Structure 1
């Protein structure tokens, strides 16, 4: 079976496989260390990239990949050792070279929101190590998913910035 598991985009956010918090990821506060939220978000994005046809096989066969240009993580509720985690991914926008995604990390059985991550990824020509357009077939697949996801309710937190609360 080819790397792309989906034949048609679904009108729901992408759902990652269920992941487990690993013992070495727990910090001295007794919860998931901030760095490992990014590891889990990144693993989910790797799964989503497979759906778009831009996973490891794409790099090997077509010499393309993605690099993260920007990332904004919000930590909303602690995750602990043994908590099952699932990540939901929205493809908010895309053009010929960029993917704007939003991810929610949720407790996989209880459903509560632990963290969000908003990202801008760039398509790279790995031979030139420069930003380059996606091939037309990949652009078409991405456009289909983006169109499907545009019909979804947008999750809270998109476009948030880091700033001190204003005093009134």
Structure 2
């Protein structure tokens, strides 16, 4: 999502098939503010997770999928970058790209943005695995879900790659 395509308070949730998925607008909760006066690092993950729940529902792997078909996803890996402080009262939205997928895994990239001003506060890159909850083991997605994922993956493959994708942690070179 470029800084020129910033969602506003009036922007509804955007379908994953028409660009990066846009979550509903979220508000920072008072108990999430730490003694430094900004959003505690743990709650960035809460907002990223809430956005993932929204796109998962669109893909057909939300709470109803777990209840009816006994499948879910677990996060296998996560890399969060904290770029700019968020404070109490700041409205936020999360843009989600489906970067890659196979029969058992989903690679996503998320940007937490100020919903009114558009600047990026944090990013999160994740690898999620599909779980057969009856066995609590990694398992392939059912064919209909693989089709849903494939449609979104195809749409997202045409999008510019977000800044920060594939970053690794390391000390700066001198």
Counterpart in 2 of 1:26? 33
Farther-moved stretch of structure 1 (10-19 vs 125-134): 10-19
The 3-state SS of whatever aligns with 2:17 is: coil
State the Cα distance separating 1:49 from its structure 2 match.
Answer: 0.3
2:41 paired with 1:41:
no
1:5 corresponds to which residue? none
| Structure 2 residue matching 1:35: 3-state secondary structure | helix
Q: Which sections of structure 2, spanning at least 5 residues, go unmatched?
A: 1-14
Choose the corresponding residue for 1:61, options 47, 55, 68. 68
Q: Unpaired segments of 5 or more residues in structure 1?
A: 1-7
SS at match of 1:101: strand
TM-score (norm 1): 0.94
Per the normalisation by structure 2, the TM-score is 0.91
- How many angstroms apart in 1 are the aligned matches of 2:97 and 2:90? 23
Q: Distance in 2 between matches of 1:69 and 1:50?
A: 19
Alignment partner of 2:116 out of 100, 104, 109: 109
Structure 2 Cα separation of the partners of residues 9 and 42 of structure 1: 16
Q: How many residues end up aligned between the 2 structures?
A: 160
Q: Match for residue 3 of structure 1? A: none
Distance 2:115 2:160 in 1: 20
